[in-house]
Structure 1
Amino acid sequence: MSRFAVWQLVAQIAARLCYNSDEALTNMTAGCCLMTETNMAFSPDLDRVFARRGWLSRQSPAARRQVLEMSRRVAFDTGENIVHIGDSAGGVFGIVSGGVGTIGVTDLAGPTLGHVMRPGAWFGIGPLLTSGQRSMSFRAMEETELVLAPLSELRPAMTTDPAFAVMIAQLTEETTRVGVEVACEALIRSAHRRVAAKLLRITAVRDGVVSAYPQGFRINQVDLAEMTALSRNHVNRILNDFQASGLVALSYNHIQITDPEGLAACAREAEA
């Protein structure tokens, strides 16, 4: 191994160790890993992202600004792990652009990719409530920008401001609700209906989310097969059926939802 490769490895390990503390990202310098960071997150453009959908869209403009002003912006490349199961916590994340995959594991199954979140969504709240380690992993499914609200900022606000604590409780409720909805759709018996529901869920097109790619959302058939408990070949056949019906347009590692309401009608069809 070259000296440069050794230095890269050491830098990545050091960055990871820093990242697992509340001061994680402030101590990370450019080039240590694929993640990049900028300082305080608030801007009018950013405020508009979180005013459109998700937890902060249901809060007052002042409350939304409070959360964003305590946050910092971070970016991840495609395939980069954001946090791992068992990591010490650095804070709670909000999605500015891109997509974040949620990966769970039990003592009987996993790790399994179950869902992809889109701009406006927040994740990683568990350690804020439990003071424990991460119980899920999160991965950037494409080039992704996030904001990170550190625990060192969130905890004092929860302690001193009852309204802020209520706002965090609302995020907990939303996270639980989305998890139940994902599980409910995963239990759809018809494979065609299940894939249709999953595509709508992981793209959020019916919420107004638009892909950054002209050819559609970056979704490969292997990941879609994992999220729908089907074989890759089965998923490929279903996607080709959808394309023939004008519901989607397919290209390499990308899916464009061309008829969201038609796809929703497919997902709602009665079980045979």
Structure 2
Amino acid sequence: MPLSRTDISKILAPDPWFSRQPENLQAALVAEAQEVQAGAGRWIYDAGESASGLYGTLSGSIAMHIGIENEEPALVSIIGPGHIFGYTGRFLGGRRIATAVAREPTTLLYLPERGLEAIAQRLPDLWVRLAELSSIHVVAGFRLAIANTRPATQRLAIHLQLLATQFSPSPHLPVTQDELSEMTGLSRKTVNRVLAGFEKDGLLSTGYRSLEILDPARLRATGRRKGDRD
């Protein structure tokens, strides 16, 4: 059964860009959007494609992969429920810069370009606001790049904090150690060792293909101090 517009607005409330928009724009975005179902493993879009339309995750999650030149694309981030994505490429040459894949059965919000154009006729500052959205995502990409220059303990703590924002308010992160290894550039052995240390210190608990954050404040503090190198 399709979600109501009110329910969709509530789901998107955690998104830092969407939450800052005026109510009339929020309502217009939801009204013009389509609800799309994506099975696990389905490609939402591919790097290099023409960038068109705006996406949001209503349930499930999306894996974002980026490749450099001819290298195999690597997992760089996971988009959780209630977050908007997919428009950065529109302002960076008009092509997708990442490949988006559903990690599990996922419900998406899709706002096609014609819907955005219809909104812009009524609210012409939409394009400026979408440029702001793109800049937010570009800055997030820089932060990830900087995080991956940090020592192993600090690096993993930062990535876990970023994942926590994607799945908030739930403390459960449906992420595997293999995914954490790929996102951080750390070996699987190092990820396992650092997580074991976090668990021993009471920062989190590990489960089957998931983690639970137990002490967000101490995890943030760990992300700000240097740890052991791989």
Coarse TM-score class (shorter-chain normalised)? 0.7 to 0.9
Distance 2:5 2:85 in 1: 21
Instruction: Report deviation, 1:209.
Output: 2.9
User: In the alignment, is residue 198 of structure 1 matched against residue 159 of structure 2?
Assistant: yes
Which residue does 1:56 correspond to in 2? 18
CA contact (8 A) 2:58 2:108 kept: yes
Specify the code of the residue in structure 2 equivalent to 1:252: Y
Aligned-residue RMSD, C-alpha: 2.5
Query: Does residue 221 of the first structure (1) align with residue 177 of the second (2)?
Result: yes
Calculate the TM-score normalised by the size of structure 2: 0.87
Show CA shifts across 1:210-255 (max 9, x none).
Answer: 16xxxx3211111110111111111111111111111111111111
Residue number in structure 1 paired with 2:145 = 183
1:210 aligns to 2:170 (yes or no): yes
- Name the SS for the 2:41 alignment partner: coil
Q: TM-score, normalised by structure 1?
A: 0.75
Q: 1:85 and 2:47 equivalent?
A: yes
Structure 1 unaligned regions, length at least 5 = 1-36
Q: Secondary structure at the match of 2:125?
A: helix
Higher radius of gyration, 1 or 2:
1
2:188 aligned partner: 232
Q: Which has the higher contact order (CA 8 A, sep 6+)?
A: 2
Report the Cα distance in structure 1 between the residues aligned to 2:7 and 2:81, rounded to whole angstroms.
13
Rate the CA distance shift 1:210–1:255 in 2: closer, same or farther, 3 A.
Answer: same
Moved over 4 A (4+): none
CA distance in 2, matches of 1:96, 1:107: 32
Residue 139 of structure 1 pairs with residue 101 of structure 2? yes
**Structure 1 counterpart SS, 2:40:** coil
Question: Which residue does the alignment assign to 2:205?
Answer: 249
Given that 1:79 and 1:139 are in contact with CA atoms closer than 8 Å, whether structure 2 keeps it comes out as yes
8 Å contact from structure 2 (residues 54, 86) kept in 1: yes
Matches within 5 A, 1:70-149: 70-89=32-51, 91-107=53-69, 109-126=71-88, 128-129=90-91, 132-149=94-111
Percent of pairs with identical residues: 27
1:61/1:250 CA distance change after superposition, 3 Å: same
Q: Which moved more, 1:242-251 or 1:165-174?
A: 165-174
1:171 aligned partner: 133
CA distance in 1, matches of 2:206, 2:224: 22
Q: What letter is aligned with 2:100?
A: F
Unaligned runs of 5+ residues in structure 2 are none
Q: How far off is 1:120 after superposition?
A: 3.1
Residue among 32, 35, 46 paired with 2:8:
46
CA-CA distance at 1:108 after TM superposition: 5.8
Could you tell me which residue of structure 2 aligns to residue 26 of structure 1? none
